[in-house]
Amino acid sequence: MLVPLVRALVAAAVLAAVCGTGAACATVCGTGHRTAGQTGTGDGTGHAAAGPTRPEAAGPTRHDAAGPTGRGGAPDDEPFFVAPGSHAARQATTWRAAGRTADAHLMDRIAARPQAEWLTGPHPEAAVRDRTTAAARHRRTAVLVAYYIPQRDCGAHSAGGAPSAAAYRAWIDAFAAGLGDRDAYVVVEPDAVPHTVAGCAQVVPAERYALLAYAVDRLGRQSGTRVYLDAGNPGWIPDPARLVGPLRSSGVTRADGVALNVSNFHTDRTTSSYGKRLSGRLGGTRLVIDTSRNGNGPHLGPGTDLWCNPPGRALGRPPTRRTGDPLIDAYLWIKRPGESDGTCRGGPAAGRWWPSYALDLAANAHD
């Protein structure tokens, strides 16, 4: 359980942070597997988690490997912004008021951690500006996910995205405008490259890769932004060599690195091993890893929907830049723990808050 001091700091952040009037202050859930509104959250897609059933070297990154700094100017290993008013924070408050103190303590394990903000709807600029401005006010770094590629999720649970290539480029321009020069980590388009490699009939690979390259280059022009292109997870494209050409075509050599295990459950060890194999083929591309729900690793039970609200999972390593591995820039909570993967195993629609599932993740955590 979190100590009272941490709970007090969370409460202080809720009072001190000003959310603004933009859509970053609200979660608008749609019908997609992730959310289809203005902002949303990530979740494991069936394709991303199915596993076996389911030109030049990269060179140095654009940014100094030391990353963001703290108030004293020294490298800050815990620089990420904890947004106030999250589902978990509100749930903890509700349960305390109802006398469910032990459950509220467990929910603090989620509420006190920085989590990504997903941008999934047509007008991202205000939401991005709100989140990065709030983070900057606290000398922190926002973590954002750009998730609006045309034919998103290959027409499956998270179907949607921009209606055209031109609309997507304009969306990326607006996203970049919202960033300004404030610090942010941006994960670019979870699933987009692996879906294409796996064979998405709805997209023309060269066109998709060109759009991803545009996103990498445009977002990377913002001075405070670190860009990580999504590269799936070890269970989806088991041979990372298959990703090398598509990632290069998608601008990975001009990004700060790749994001792995987004919305998935593979362990840190499995994911980092996979990432190093991939990185070796990309001239040393750096990594960030989603550890939000991988504390117990992937579900090994029967069924084909092992990605969707699997039982017995646990929160993973809290977000940090203190990775102990020079190739891994950060462990992040890109997926928001406690938000449903979809209407399976009794869950609500994808992206919706599910208190009992969140409580299980927190109760099973090893910290």
Amino acid at 112: A
Of 308, 233, 228, the C-alpha closest to 268 is 233
Which tokens belong to 309?
């609200």
Residues in the chain: 367
Q: Active site residue: 43, 130, 341, 360, which one?
A: 341
Q: Active site residue: 76, 130, 153, 230, which one?
A: 153
Would residue 191 show up in a list of annotated catalytic residues for this protein?
A: yes
Amino acid at 311: P
From edge to edge, which strands make up the β-sheet containing 328-332? 39-40, 117-119, 142-146, 184-188, 225-230, 257-260, 287-290, 328-332
Helical segments of 77-233, H only: 87-97, 101-111, 125-137, 165-179, 192-198, 205-220
Would residue 153 show up in a list of annotated catalytic residues for this protein?
A: yes
Q: CA-to-CA distance for 23 and 119, rounded, in angstroms? A: 10
Q: Active site residue: 191, 230, 256, 360, which one?
A: 191
Residue 153 host element (H or E): none
Half-sphere exposure of 344 (CA within 13 A, CB side): 17
Residue 40 host element (H or E): strand 39-40
| Cβ-based neighbour number of residue 264 at 10 Å | 29
Dihedral sign of CA atoms 63, 66, 67, 68 in order = negative
Which tokens belong to 53?
């059933």
Cβ neighbours for 94, distance < 8 A, ≥ 6 positions apart: none
Amino acid at 177: A
User: End-to-end alpha-carbon separation of the chain, Å?
Assistant: 8
Would residue 341 show up in a list of annotated catalytic residues for this protein?
A: yes
As annotated, the active-site residues are 153, 191, 341
